[in-house]
């Protein structure tokens, strides 16, 4: 992947951030599909251990061994460790939820995460969130509701996994933006990979069971997608404000719909298409407002 130039303008940085965010959502949707398949055979700690071992290897290769010492020099190491622990907990909770809940139900609850990020961006990041961004996020949330049309019927005892995972997901995204103020993306990435490796290897061996060649293939693919997703999310939150990026996190539902069509032959109905249009329009509106704000702040030549 090409790295944006160091002299990048604020407008271009926002565009890069949005692009990274949408690509990250594609990777997360892919991981969800694979995790749903893997949890039917393997224990969650085993899945996460394999994923995070390969995630760490991916991080080392990407950063390069000779740069590791510099990458580990964090200005806020405790904050990095806390963020990494939150990520591990969030992934574990969501993966457990995927074993017991339909994918649509998980995503319908997780769609509330952008609202959590926008709310947390005020006290944690000191960002000024105007009504235009709130409107874009809320409109995107309406689009998600149109797509998934949530109706759990009887309350599922495992719905708490989705709720807790959503809270952790929103907090994790906000903290990704917070640590970006102190460390570059390589430092955040290597801390994320290291903490995930330590946590998963402390638990995973106790749940290990034999894996056949097909299982290894799915585990490795899930690990690759997971590592790419978190790297892209780190790059996104380093390039643009967390509250601005949230409307584009709704593309996770769009990617999930597309993967459902490609993998399972599920054709989107008219409500899905309407919801997708609402989400895209909300994202475009947020981008327009941000560009307009940057233009107003930029002095005339």
pLDDT per residue as tens digits for the range 273-287:
787 788 778 877 776
88 lies in a domain? Answer: yes
* pLDDT at residue number 301: 43
Cα atoms in the 13 Å half-sphere on the side-chain side of 74: 21
pLDDT at 11 over 50: yes
Average pLDDT over residues 48-62: 91
pLDDT at 182 over 80: yes
Domain count, the chain: 1
**Whole-angstrom Cα distance, residue 133 to residue 282?**
9
Reduced to 3 states (helix: H, G, I; strand: E, B; else coil), residue 1 is: coil
pTM for the whole structure: 0.76
71 lies in a domain? Answer: yes
pLDDT at 77 over 90: yes
* pLDDT at residue number 242: 65
Q: 283: which 2 tokens?
A: 């994202």
CA distances from 77 to 83, 152, 178, 241, 286 (A): 10, 41, 12, 22, 33
- Can you give the C-alpha Rg of the chain in angstroms? 19
301 lies in a domain? Answer: no
* pLDDT at residue number 24: 92
Average pLDDT over residues 55-77: 91
Mean pLDDT of the chain: 82
Least confident of 3-17, 57-71, 92-106, 196-210: 3-17
pLDDT at 1 over 70: no
* pLDDT at residue number 266: 63
Most confident of 34-43, 161-170, 186-195: 186-195
- Residue-range definition of the domain harbouring residue 137: 13-296
25 lies in a domain? Answer: yes
Cα–Cα–Cα angle for 117, 137, 281, rounded to 5 degrees:
145
Q: Are 222 and 47 in contact (CB under 8 A)?
A: yes
pLDDT in tens, 86-129: 999 999 999 998 887 777 667 767 777 777 887 788 888 887 77
97 lies in a domain? Answer: yes
* pLDDT at residue number 248: 83
Q: Are 245 and 174 in contact (CB under 8 A)?
A: no
Q: What is the DSSP letter of 207?
A: G
Q: Which residue has the higher pLDDT, 183 or 286?
A: 183
Most confident of 4-18, 54-68, 95-109: 54-68
Greatest Cα pair distance, the chain, in angstroms, is 66
**Whole-angstrom Cα distance, residue 271 to residue 255?**
16
How many percent of the chain have pLDDT more than 70? 85
Q: Are 253 and 149 in contact (CB under 8 A)?
A: no
189 lies in a domain? Answer: yes
Q: 227: which 2 tokens?
A: 């590592």
pLDDT in tens, 23-39: 999 998 899 889 888 98
Least confident of 50-59, 60-69, 147-156: 147-156
Question: 299 pLDDT band (50/70/90 cuts)?
Answer: low
* pLDDT at residue number 295: 63
pLDDT in tens, 222-241: 988 988 888 888 888 788 87
């Amino acid at each position: 992947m090409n790295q944006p130039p160091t002299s990048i303008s604020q407008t271009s940085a926002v565009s890069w951030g949005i692009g990274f965010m949408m690509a990250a959502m594609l990777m997360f949707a892919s991981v969800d599909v694979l995790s749903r398949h893997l949890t039917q055979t393997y224990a969650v700690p085993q899945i996460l251990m394999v994923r995070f071992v390969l995630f760490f290897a991916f991080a080392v290769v990407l950063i390069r061994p000779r740069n590791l010492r510099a990458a580990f020099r964090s200005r806020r190491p405790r904050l990095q460790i806390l963020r990494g622990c939150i990520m591990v907990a969030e992934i574990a909770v969501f993966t457990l939820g995927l074993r017991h809940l339909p994918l649509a139900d998980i995503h319908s609850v997780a769609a509330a995460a952008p609202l959590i990020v926008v709310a947390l961006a005020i006290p944690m990041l000191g960002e000024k969130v105007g009504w235009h961004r709130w409107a874009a996020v809320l409109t995107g949330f309406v689009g998600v509701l149109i797509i998934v049309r949530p109706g759990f019927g009887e309350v599922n005892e495992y719905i708490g996994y989705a709720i807790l995972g959503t809270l952790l997901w929103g907090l994790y995204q906000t903290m990704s933006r917070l640590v970006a103020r102190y460390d570059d993306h390589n430092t955040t990435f290597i801390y994320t990979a290291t903490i995930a490796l330590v946590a998963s290897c402390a638990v995973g061996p106790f749940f290990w069971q034999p894996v056949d060649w097909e299982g290894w293939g799915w585990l490795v693919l899930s690990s690759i997608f997971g590592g790419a997703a978190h790297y892209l999310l780190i790059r996104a939150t380093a390039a643009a404000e967390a509250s601005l990026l949230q409307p584009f996190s709704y593309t996770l539902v769009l990617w999930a719909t597309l993967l459902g069509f490609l993998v399972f032959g599920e054709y989107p109905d008219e409500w899905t298409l309407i919801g997708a249009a609402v989400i895209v329009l909300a994202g475009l509106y947020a981008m327009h407002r941000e560009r307009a704000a940057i233009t107003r702040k930029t002095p005339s030549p």
